[in-house]
Every structure is written in C-alpha cells, then in structure tokens.
Chains A and B, each alone.
Chain A
Amino acid sequence: MKKKLAIAASLLIVATVIIVMVVRRKDSSHHHHDAAKTSTVEAVGIDQTDTSVSMMAMLNAPEQATPCLTAFGAIEAEGAAMKLHNGKSMFKWVAPKDAFLAACQELPVAQQQCMAPRYRRDHAEDCEKQRPMPDALKKLYVGEPIVEPDYEHQ
C-alpha cells in the first residue's frame, strides 16, 4: 500500500513538474524580468556642473533669424544661466555683439551654420571639417583654457 502511495505521489510530482515547465516555457518571456533600473542616481551631479549648465543653456537657446544671431543669443543665454547658477562661464572672452556678428558674417556660409549650437550638435562631423582658422575664431570668442594631462609620457 505504501509503495503504491509512493509511486502515486512520485507520478503526481513528475506531472506537476511537467506542467510547471510547460507553463514556464510558454511564459518564459516574462518570468525573469527584473524591475527596470532607470533611476537617475548616477547622474545627479552631472547636470549641475558649470560645463553642463553652459552647454544646456546654449543648446536650448531659441533659434533666431540667422545662425550668427542664434549663436550670440546662445552666448547670452549661457551668461544668464551661469549668473543664475553662480558658476563660471566656459568662455574667457566673447566679442561685443556688433563685433561678434560682423566677424561671424565674414565666415563662409557653411561655417556660419555651425555657429548655431543645435546645428553644430546635429552635424558634428561636418562642422569639425569646417573649423575656421584660429585667428577667425579669436575675433568671436576665447574658451577657458583646457589643461591636458602630459600625454607625452604614455
């Protein structure tokens, strides 16, 4: 009797296993999903840094009638954002508006387009190829110096 019971129990367990496996297999696309880990924990500090604030202000500045006007508007937006943020601008010097616009309009059309921050972002490779000569850029702005590590040692 006990033996029969044991065999019956074994068969029941095996049957249960088969059913569970079939169900699991059918539902295999769902059972192992963890909760999405889409928190912003790692990113908290990034958006508050001066560089990020500067860049976001310039990218979000409104489009104006010409790329040169858009560029100067972006610089003004950057200045305002940094004042609000109590941070340091990424520019060491920017030409006054009239001089800026005059120097910008002297650039070839393809280079003028790249003065608009969003255009430059969306056409980064093309704009890199359109890089003006350093003297032309110095009439527009001077960025804060970037200190590079001593790559000669590598």
Chain B
Amino acid sequence: MTKLSILVPFICAVGCTSSVEVRTPIEDLQPGLNMLDTSDASWGVTAAYVEGAHVVYLEQRVGAMKPQAYRDEAPNEPVNEIDMRFVDGNGKTFFVQRGGDGYVDETWSQDINDALVTQVPDADRIRDFGLAKKAAGAFAQAVNTKAELAPFAFHAAAYALRPIPSEDPTMIAKIGAIEASRPTDTAYGNYGFGGSWWFEGDLYDKGTSCVFWYCPAKHSSVAVWAYQTAWQLGVIACNHGSCAGASNMHYECYSNSGVWRDNVTISAETNGNTSIGGGCLTSYSWASGGYNHLCNDDSAYELWQIKNGGPGGGSLDTNGDGYNFVYTGPGTGGNGSWVNYACTCAYNNRCNNDWSRPICP
C-alpha cells in the first residue's frame, strides 16, 4: 500500500510531463491570430487562430537548404525547404505540405496516419479548412513585417490564396464521380469513418532553368487529397521546389485510386505495402540514372502509389509511361528489414532523364 501510494503519483508525474507536443489550449488563446512560438527562426514557427469556440494551429518547420540553382531561380521563395501543416483543436493534422523527401519533424508522418483513423464530422473539417485559410492570411501578414520571420510568410500566403476544398469548383466537380463509385453492395455507413478512403493526386508543374523563352526542364509537385464523405485531408508533396497549388505552378493532370481503399497510410519516405504518397528515397540529383532521383521521379512515384495503393511487391511496373521504380537496399537480398524505393528512368526510352513532368497514370 505504501509503495502504491508513492508509485501512483510517480507514474502520474512521468505521464503528465512526458508529452512532447505542447499546444496552448484554446481557453488560453485570444480571438484571431496568436503567435505561439517564434523564438527560433532556424527551427520553425507555431501559431494558432481562434474564431468563436474553434481553433486551428499552423506549424512550419525548417528543412534542408535548397540547392543554389533553385535559390537563384526563385529568390522570392524561402531558401530552405519548409514543411507546413494545420492541426485542428483536437490535435489532428488535416493539411500538410512537405518540402522535401521526408518530414523535418518525423512525428508528422504518424500524425497524418492518425488522422486517417480518427472520425471528424464533415462540417467540422470544412470549418477547419476555412479557419486555416484565415489563419494563413493573418499569419502571412504578421510575419512579413519581421525580417527573420518573413520566409514563413511565403507558403502561408500561397495557402491563403487557394479555395478550400469544399469551395473549389474542381474539387467539387470530382465528387459526383467518386460517390458514384461507392460499392452498392455495402452499407453506406460502412464507408464512413474508420473505413475506406478515395485518393486523388493532382500534378502541377512549371518550367525550370528557364532563360529567354526556353525552359530545358520541368519541376513538378503533387497534391494528394483524401476523401470519405468530404475532402478530409490534404498532403502536398513539393518535391524540393515550388509546391502544387502555388501561383507559379500549373495544373496538368490527375490520378486517383479508382477504388475505395482500407487501412491505408500516407507516409513520406517510409513506404510500406499500403503507403501512399511517398517520394523516392535515394539521393536527390539531376544526374539521373544510378538510382538517383529528382522532383519528377518523386511526382511519378506519388501518382503511381495513389493509383496502386502502394508500391506493391518487387517493383512497381509502370511500363509505358517512362518510369520504373525499383527496390534497392538490404531488403532486396532478403536479409534486411527495410528497402528503399529508387525512382529512375534509366531503363526506358521516353522520360528524358526525368527532366520532364511525368504522365498521370
């Protein structure tokens, strides 16, 4: 009994103080924009936006510095890859934008997958996207006036300019076909929360390395959207450069899952058999071949995973579109627990060393 009376508060002490993520609760916030953490611009920022009884949190984390060529080409964009996300009042991530191959804060990947198994009423999520838009606009305006925080304005400002999914004519137009694809032999309710998802991947691109009126290469990025009975989750893969949806990026085409998928996870670089949306794991370089990769390989891989629901086994056969995705790493010999997915166009004849944007499979 004596031991127990000591142990209980001790366990409580450990449990109560071991939380990694600290977000100021809504009752301690002011209406409108709250800057929660701007103390270290080399690390990132955290803010919150309150309207009525609801809050969304905006978080940005600073990643790898972009190559000099990208910095020279787009001096108005942040010099580092930056991850950005919005989190709802219950701590659930509903929009994330990834700068490079993996998340700067690796816990975001799990947070995204938690969002895929947590029920959120459509109306709440629609409201969250709307709040996020207001948050982004207010945040961009606030940080733009402070030199050290100005880089964080760029992606927030771009988000603020986008329509939210429920008001985007393109996203709305897709819903009819998606709903029509619902299996009729299954009760509608079973396709509500916890169950199936429909995935959409929108490919955006822009000319890159342009001089005069000649652009020898293209940069591409994919916006992944997850739908149940409303658009619930967005994952933008910027693939090291400009992000899908940005004003300088042009929409090209889309791929979708074509079926409703169960027990799916969305990850960055730790792709499993049911993972969607990961980029290529191997070295990032324009010297394509030899399993290096660049943005267009990432885009191709992301689109193929959306279509296939995961990389599948052995290799992802995309014959006909100019891309192949192959395993490399210890797992290939059956003696390791992990594999890398190398994206390469070295074994086909139409992908121009990956310098053009991929097709949408």
**B and A form one assembly:** yes
**Chain A residues at the B interface, C-beta cutoff of 8 Å:** 2-3, 5-7, 9-10, 13-14, 16-17, 20-21, 24-25, 28-49, 51-52, 54-56, 58-60, 71, 74, 90, 114-115, 117, 120-121, 124-125, 127-128, 131-132, 137, 140-141, 143-144, 146-151, 153-154
Cβ contact within 8 Å between A52 and B69: yes
Q: In the complex, which residues of chain A have a beta carbon less than 8 angstroms from the beta carbon of B187?
A: none
B43 contacts the other chain (Cβ, under 8 Å)? Answer: yes
Report B134 CB to chain A, min CB distance, Å: 23
Among A21, A32, A117, A120, the residue within 8 A (CB) of B20 is A32
Report A101 CB to chain B, min CB distance, Å: 14
Cβ contact within 8 Å between A124 and B210: yes
Closest B residue to A117 by beta carbon equals B211
Cβ contact within 8 Å between B320 and A29: no
Cβ contact within 8 Å between B286 and A154: no
Closest B residue to A2 by beta carbon equals B2
Cβ contact within 8 Å between B10 and A13: yes
Cβ contact within 8 Å between A141 and B214: yes
Cβ contact within 8 Å between B213 and A137: yes
Can you name 17 extra interface pairs (CB under 8 A) apart from A20-B13, A32-B20? Answer: A5-B2, A9-B6, A29-B37, A37-B64, A40-B65, A42-B240, A42-B283, A42-B284, A43-B240, A51-B69, A51-B355, A146-B217, A149-B322, A149-B351, A150-B322, A154-B321, A154-B361
Q: In the complex, which residues of chain A have a beta carbon less than 8 angstroms from the beta carbon of B39?
A: 29-30, 33
Report A86 CB to chain B, min CB distance, Å: 14
Interface band, chain B: 35 or more
- Docked Cα-Cα span, A143 to B210, in Å, equals 11
Interface centre among B8, B16, B209, B322 (most CB of A within 10 A): B209
- Docked Cα-Cα span, A149 to B1, in Å, equals 74
Closest B residue to A11 by beta carbon equals B9
B251 contacts the other chain (Cβ, under 8 Å)? Answer: no
B5 contacts the other chain (Cβ, under 8 Å)? Answer: yes
Report B42 CB to chain A, min CB distance, Å: 4
B22 contacts the other chain (Cβ, under 8 Å)? Answer: yes
Cβ contact within 8 Å between A143 and B43: no
B352 contacts the other chain (Cβ, under 8 Å)? Answer: yes
Cβ contact within 8 Å between A90 and B64: no
B310 contacts the other chain (Cβ, under 8 Å)? Answer: no
- Docked Cα-Cα span, A55 to B105, in Å, equals 33
- Docked Cα-Cα span, A13 to B16, in Å, equals 12
- Docked Cα-Cα span, A82 to B17, in Å, equals 58
Among A115, A150, A154, the residue within 8 A (CB) of B253 is A154
Report A53 CB to chain B, min CB distance, Å: 8
- Is chain A's binding surface mostly helix, strand, loop or mixed? helix
Beyond A24-B17, A154-B360, whether A13 also contacts B286 by CB under 8 A is no
Report B299 CB to chain A, min CB distance, Å: 12
- Docked Cα-Cα span, A24 to B360, in Å, equals 48
Cβ contact within 8 Å between A17 and B17: yes
B73 contacts the other chain (Cβ, under 8 Å)? Answer: yes
Q: In the complex, which residues of chain A have a beta carbon less than 8 angstroms from the beta carbon of B100?
A: 42
Cβ contact within 8 Å between A38 and B63: yes
B287 contacts the other chain (Cβ, under 8 Å)? Answer: yes
Among A35, A36, A52, A153, the residue within 8 A (CB) of B67 is A52
Beyond A16-B13, A146-B352, A149-B350, whether A90 also contacts B43 by CB under 8 A is no
B177 contacts the other chain (Cβ, under 8 Å)? Answer: no
Cβ contact within 8 Å between B285 and A55: no
Cβ contact within 8 Å between B355 and A146: yes
Closest B residue to A30 by beta carbon equals B39
Report B293 CB to chain A, min CB distance, Å: 10
Cβ contact within 8 Å between A20 and B17: yes
Cβ contact within 8 Å between A7 and B17: no
- Docked Cα-Cα span, A3 to B283, in Å, equals 63
B2-24: contact bitstring with A at CB < 8 Å (1 yes, 0 no)? 10011011101100110011101
Cβ contact within 8 Å between B72 and A60: yes
Closest 10 CB pairs of A and B: A45-B285, A43-B67, A52-B69, A46-B67, A49-B286, A147-B352, A154-B359, A36-B42, A143-B214, A17-B13
Q: In the complex, which residues of chain B have a beta carbon less than 8 angstroms from the beta carbon of A153?
A: 320-321, 359
B235 contacts the other chain (Cβ, under 8 Å)? Answer: no
Cβ contact within 8 Å between A144 and B216: yes
